[in-house]
């Protein structure tokens, strides 16, 4: 049984179909890359999986159970955590408290009835490279650090499936490499990852499998090599050969 099974999922906003009958399965232990041009429906797919907005058709199953229509907190308790493309931190709380809240009200706090300790939250902050920023207000952090804090917060909930929405965007080269190593380590420890990313080098080196969305439809799925050589994907997203340099972002932002 797949860990996550998205079954003919559609999402509409008024007359606009943002996702059109998209199906995909994610197996336990995988890193799946989700790519596609801006507006392709990638974030909408994450929203539909995590209980932000209701799909107009289709189902999402997690560990075999239909979770479509569940509220976001219940989906978190079931074991899915996410980060946001546009960061959503709690501005009245410190960096450390942002992690503590997630650790206390997320899945692990809910499951074992024990709030995360400050020490455990600190360890998570150290893991994402924010060990020195625990007492700061999140809004004073540079954007790249806010994104790392979102990852720490998502991990604090104790997820089995982690959805990362452009976690690497805006990071410098060495910062992106550190975060890529962290994503690998997260998977090594047993958390399955689906990552939306425009940085092709990251997608190509981290993903076991890549899914491509275009205009709300899944147009390709396969190994990084299969997808990066697919004429349809090159036409829709990767562009001509000189733009298809895996070391460079593949799209305009």
Ligand X SMILES: Nc1ncnc2c1ncn2[C@@H]1O[C@H](COP(=O)(O)OP(=O)(O)O)[C@@H](O)[C@H]1O
| Residue whose entry in the numeric block shows the structure tokens 């890359």 | 33
Residues within window 43-102 making contact with ligand X, judged by CB under 6 A: 43-44
Adjacency order of strands within the sheet including 217-222: 80-82, 161-165, 192-196, 31-35, 209-214, 217-222
Residue choice 10, 17, 56, 85 for contact with Mg ion (CB under 5 A): 85
Query: What is d(CA 64, CA 77) in angstroms, rounded to the nearest whole number?
Result: 15
Going by the DSSP 8-state scheme, the letter that residue 252 receives in this structure is: -
Closest CB to Mg ion among 1 and 86? 86
Token pair, residue 115, equals 């709030």
Report the length, in residues, of the chain: 253
Residues within window 32-51 making contact with Mg ion, judged by CB under 5 A: 42-43
* Long-range contacts of 231-240, Cβ-Cβ distance < 8 Å, separation of 24 or more: 236/36, 236/37, 236/212, 237/35, 237/36, 237/37, 237/212, 238/200
Q: How far is the CB of 9 from ligand X (least distance, A)?
A: 12
The item of ligand X, Mg ion, none sharing an interface with residue 138, based on CB under 5 to 8 Å by kind, is: none
Q: Is 36 in the site for ligand X (CB under 6 A)?
A: yes
Taken in order 172, 175, 180, 181, the sign of the CA dihedral is positive
Q: How far is the CB of 212 from ligand X (least distance, A)?
A: 11
Q: How far is the CB of 52 from Mg ion (least distance, A)?
A: 12
Q: How far is the CB of 207 from ligand X (least distance, A)?
A: 17
Q: Is 39 in the site for ligand X (CB under 6 A)?
A: yes
Closest CB to ligand X among 57 and 115? 57
Residues that bind ligand X (CB under 6 A): 13, 16, 18, 36, 38-44
Catalog residues that contact Mg ion under the rule CB under 5 A: 42-43, 85
């Amino acid at each position: 049984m797949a860990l996550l099974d998205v079954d003919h999922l559609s999402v509409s906003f008024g007359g606009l179909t943002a996702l059109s009958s998209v199906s995909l399965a994610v197996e336990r232990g995988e890193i799946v890359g989700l790519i596609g041009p801006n507006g392709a429906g990638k974030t909408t797919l994450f929203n539909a999986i995590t209980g932000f907005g209701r799909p107009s058709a289709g189902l999402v199953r997690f560990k075999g159970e239909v979770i479509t229509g569940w509220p976001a907190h219940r989906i978190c308790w079931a074991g899915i955590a996410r980060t946001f493309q546009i960061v959503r931190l709690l501005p009245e709380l410190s960096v450390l408290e942002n992690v503590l809240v997630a650790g206390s009200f997320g899945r692990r706090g809910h499951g074992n009835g024990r709030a995360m300790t400050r020490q455990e939250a600190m360890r998570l902050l150290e893991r994402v490279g924010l060990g020195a920023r625990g007492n700061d207000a999140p809004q004073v952090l540079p954007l790249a650090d806010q994104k790392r804090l979102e990852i720490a917060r998502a991990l604090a909930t104790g997820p089995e499936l982690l959805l990362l929405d452009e976690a690497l965007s805006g990071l410098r080269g060495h910062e992106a490499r550190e975060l890529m190593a962290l994503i690998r380590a997260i998977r090594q420890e047993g958390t399955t990852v689906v990552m939306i990313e425009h940085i092709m080098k990251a997608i190509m080196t981290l993903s076991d499998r890549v899914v491509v969305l275009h205009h709300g439809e899944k147009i390709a799925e396969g190994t990084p090599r299969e997808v990066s050589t697919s004429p349809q994907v090159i036409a829709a997203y990767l562009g001509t050969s000189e733009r298809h340099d895996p070391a460079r972002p593949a799209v305009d932002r």
